[in-house]
Amino acid sequence: MISNKKALEMIDVISNMFPDAECELVHENPFELTIAVLLSAQTTDVSVNKLTKHLFKKYKTPEDYINVDISELENDLRTIGLYRNKAKNIQKLCQSLLEKFNGIIPETHAELESLAGVGRKTANVVMSVAFNEPSLAVDTHVERVSKRLGICRWKDNVRQVEDKLCKVVPRERWNKTHHQLIFFGRYHCLARSPKCDICPLFDVCREGQKRYKASLKEV
């Protein structure tokens, strides 16, 4: 693993590449954002946005989601992966939101995590994007990029990745860094075909160097 100083230098490079990175899930309020984040599991934001463009016109409140039969909600979500599970989780979330918080998305991390179907990542995203509270959510892009660059260990779990990033990055930059790492992973250091040949971090990236050496052997 590299030092915190080197890690922050890498993140500074990423930050300069994507200065305007922001949440790409279209939403108009914390409730819509929470639903969109739940829908985004193992699905692209583009697919979620296509779906929610219509979904959010039909379902505006937690009651709207639980007042329909599960099969109707499943049918409305069928364009995205894991739609059956997601329909079930959304109904559970809305039920617990009504029971515990009168249908209003709470503004603390602990309360958010107390909701059915809301894990640490979702709570972090909602705290950061909806309420502008410093959080550094770790999704698949953030985890992959942090590990490839050697900021974290390959064996680190998601929570360890989050803790490490929060140690490296100044607190006031957590929210922005989350989006910048996502953009870097989504548009540059892609899972299957990272753009190592044009990467400004190539010289210091262990994954980039490994791939380069492997490519030399293939020649």
Q: Which residues are documented as binding site?
A: 189, 196, 199, 205
Interface residue with ligand SF4, options 25, 41, 77, 149 (CB under 6 A): 149
Interface residue with ligand SF4, options 41, 151, 169, 199 (CB under 6 A): 199
| C-beta closer to ligand SF4: residue 99 or 197 | 197
Which range of residues in 47-55, 93-101, 122-130, 195-203 is near ligand SF4 by CB under 6 A? 195-203
Interface residue with ligand SF4, options 30, 62, 117, 194 (CB under 6 A): 194
How near is the Cβ of 203 to ligand SF4 at its closest, in Å?
A: 8
How near is the Cβ of 41 to ligand SF4 at its closest, in Å?
A: 23
Judged by CB under 6 A, does residue 11 bind ligand SF4?
no
How near is the Cβ of 7 to ligand SF4 at its closest, in Å?
A: 12
- Check residue 129 and report its DSSP letter: I
Q: Note every long-range contact of 98-104, with CB atoms under 8 Å and residues 24 or more positions apart, other chains counting.
A: 98/62, 98/63, 98/66, 103/61, 103/62, 103/63, 104/31
Bind-site residues for [4Fe-4S] cluster? 189, 196, 199, 205
Judged by CB under 6 A, does residue 143 bind ligand SF4?
no
Which range of residues in 52-60, 133-141, 174-182, 197-205 is near ligand SF4 by CB under 6 A? 197-205
Burial class (CB in 10 A: 0-12, 13-18, 19+), 7: buried
CB atoms within 10 A of CB 92: 16
Burial class (CB in 10 A: 0-12, 13-18, 19+), 47: middle
Tokens of 187: 């548009």
Active site residue 121: yes
In 3-state terms, what secondary structure has residue 105?
Answer: coil
Judged by CB under 6 A, does residue 189 bind ligand SF4?
yes
Find tokens 């791939």 and name the residue: 211
